């Protein structure tokens, strides 16, 4: 997990590359000292345009609140993808097959993340991530209220729908 500046805030090495995001997330939030995710985790809309490339070019602007929400969601997802590309580009040991024992691999991965964060913080590499500014990004969370398990709920689906409409309406006015 990384923040808007491309600094990693939670790392759990040791999962195989084929593990799905939802499987890892379910495991991480169920651990006694696992990731504390503020309530408000919102998934994108299915069967709507999602990838940023879908909106490139003249005449491809969002036409619905759901599309607009997905565009912003995709933009936030690009931050983590770019952070991983920077990390893998910087540390060759992360790119290839490793023959070290799994404990050594996990420590090495964690150390690469820590040094990546130090470089990002001290040298301003996060500015290269082309992160959306705070004014145009949505942040949701409740103080002291964290996700204990992952499941869909009608309340959060309605909240996401309302948020998408509000974001789209503001964007149209601008």
Q: Report which of 143, 117, 121, 139 is spatially closest to residue 36, judged by C-alpha positions.
A: 143
Report yes or no on 108 lying in a domain.
yes
In a domain, 132, yes or no: yes
Along the 174 residues of the chain, how does pLDDT read in single tens digits?
A: 888 888 888 888 888 777 787 788 888 888 887 777 766 667 788 887 777 777 777 778 777 888 888 888 887 788 888 888 888 888 888 888 888 888 899 999 999 999 988 888 887 654 444 433 333 333 333 344 545 555 566 776 777 777 777 777 877 787
- Whether 75 maps to a domain, the answer reads yes
Please report, for residues 84, 140, 160, the alpha-carbon distance to residue 95 in angstroms, rounded to integers and kept in the order given.
Answer: 11, 34, 37
160 part of a folded domain: yes
Structure confidence at residue 135 (pLDDT): 36
The residue range of the domain holding 128 is 21-173
d(CA 78, CA 2): 11
Overall number of domains in the chain: 1
What's the pLDDT score for residue 110?
92
Asked whether residue 155 is assigned to any structural domain, the reply reads yes
In a domain, residue 15? The reply is: no
Q: Are 38 and 145 in contact (CB under 8 A)?
A: yes
Q: Look at residue 25 and tell me if it is in a domain.
A: yes
Q: Is residue 12 part of a domain?
A: no
Between the two ends of the chain, the Cα-to-Cα distance in Å is: 31
């Amino acid at each position: 997990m990384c923040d808007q500046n491309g600094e990693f805030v939670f790392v759990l090495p040791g999962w195989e590359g084929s593990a799905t995001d939802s499987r890892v997330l379910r495991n991480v939030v169920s651990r006694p000292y696992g990731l504390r995710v503020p309530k408000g985790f919102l998934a994108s809309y299915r069967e709507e345009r999602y990838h940023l490339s879908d909106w490139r070019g003249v005449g491809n602007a969002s036409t619905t609140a759901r599309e607009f929400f997905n565009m912003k969601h995709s933009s936030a997802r690009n931050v983590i993808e770019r952070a991983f590309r920077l990390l893998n580009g910087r540390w060759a040991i992360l790119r290839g097959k490793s023959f070290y024992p799994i404990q050594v691999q996990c420590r090495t991965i964690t150390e690469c993340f820590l040094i990546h964060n130090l470089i990002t913080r001290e040298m301003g590499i996060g500015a290269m991530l082309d992160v959306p500014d705070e004014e145009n990004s949505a942040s949701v969370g409740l103080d002291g209220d964290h996700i204990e398990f992952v499941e869909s709920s009608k309340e959060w689906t309605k909240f996401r729908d309302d948020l998408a409409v509000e974001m789209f309406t503001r964007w149209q006015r601008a």
